[in-house]
Amino acid sequence: MTSPEHSGLTLQVQVADMAKGIAFYTTLFGREPDFLPHKDFAEWRVLTGVELWWQVVEVPGEVRPLTTRVRFRVADIDAARGWLRAELGVPSAPVTTLPGVVRFTDFADPWGNRLGYYEDVVPSDQQPEPGGSVHDDAMFTVENES
């Protein structure tokens, strides 16, 4: 039996207040939701030309935030961190670098959903061969905050 062809992907985050959730993600994505089928559900198509939808759903009771992290690629991570702080008032972790590969930072939305930004140091198809372990802190450098 052959695995079905996957042609799209949705990622869903929970929020406690839909109006605040829409406001946060409208600012983060730079535009209003692409689809609002219900009063407690909104979607943004996060990549042009790709069937990838970011879903925000208001839940009654306690929010269960993402236990994994979702990072968005940006062209300039330092500018993105400054914008995040200025526009959303959200702090982010110091930038961590895997030399010759990637720079990344982590942050969370107001409901604790784990997010982040990453910047490729070189194009993905030009990165060095894998080596070591993602759990080896010696492979990474963390930039000092200025």
How many Cα atoms occupy the beta-carbon half-sphere of 26 within 13 Å?
A: 13
Buried b (16+ CB within 10 A) or exposed e, 89-105: ebebeebbbbeebbbbb
Tokens 């080596």 correspond to 131
pLDDT band at 130 (very low <50, low <70, confident <90, very high): low
Q: Which residue has the higher pLDDT, 121 or 123?
A: 121
Mean predicted confidence (pLDDT) in 136-141: 78
pLDDT at 137: 76
pTM for this one? 0.87
Does the domain spanning 9-62 belong to CATH 3.40.470.10? no
Q: Quick one: fold of 65-146? A: 2,3-Dihydroxybiphenyl 1,2-Dioxygenase; domain 1 (3.10.180)
pLDDT digits (tens, 9 = 90+) for 92-106: 999 999 888 899 999
pLDDT digits (tens, 9 = 90+) for 2-29: 999 989 999 999 999 999 999 999 999 9
Residue 146 has pLDDT above 80, yes or no: no
Spatial separation of the C-alpha atoms in residues 47 and 83, rounded to whole Å: 20
- Which helix (DSSP H) or strand (DSSP E) does residue 52 occupy? strand 52-58
* Domain ranges for the chain: 9-62, 65-146
Bridge partner list, 103: 97, 119
